[in-house]
Structure 1
Amino acid sequence: MEKIMFIETGMGIDVHGQNITKAAIRAVQNAIHFNSMPGLASVLPDNDFNNMKVNVKLALPAEKENLDIAAVKAVLPFGTVTVEVMDGGMLTTSGVVLAEKGDKNDLMYIVVASVEVGY
């Protein structure tokens, strides 16, 4: 990426079910949820949102091998998306195990995301 236009951060949690992909998707959605970039197209090559680059950095507390990167990329509607995974986030107790919610244990998975957009 030659030029970073903006960086947004977010957090996502899977309270029940211990699904790292669900927590990661929620973190990315949280990062981009309140953004509108109407002027960005004017600085992108060919004035096309598909020419932007999006770098997603995810801090995961566990189960990196179970992360569905394609599902995370699908959250972002435009551009060439890359995903970098690193250690971080948090595991903490939800205080209860709810089998009907798919819980294997009482852990909540908390993922932190940084989304960089540019070209």
Structure 2
Amino acid sequence: MMQKKSKKLRKDDYSQEDIILEFVLTIQDDSSEDDEDDIERYAKAKLVISNEESVLQRWKKWSINYPTLDALAGSLPGIPASSCTSQRIFSAIGRILEERRQNLGDDIVDDI
């Protein structure tokens, strides 16, 4: 059973657990020996990747040969276009350990 998170996610936000669960359920529905072969074939393939072709165009072309990997690639979110989120997180972490918060014990800092 999944626990409810205290922070409410927006409609288009997905946690890693949600993505992995969706992928596993998709794979279980379509499971066969071909699924394992799909991943093995991709790993062994000597694919020619052109810089003129976008990732989406590539997966559209490869989806016929690698349906399992196509399902995974389609369910994963893209890379964020900015570093604002990561900068905000590191900034918040830095504020936890500032001098003005000297009263925080090691156990409390570890919990944070």
Q: Confirm or deny a common fold (TM above 0.5).
A: no
Structure 1 length as normaliser, TM-score? 0.25
Structure number having the greater strand percentage: 1
**Bigger fraction of residues in helix:** 2
Which structure has more RCO (C-alpha within 8 Å, separation ≥ 6)? 1
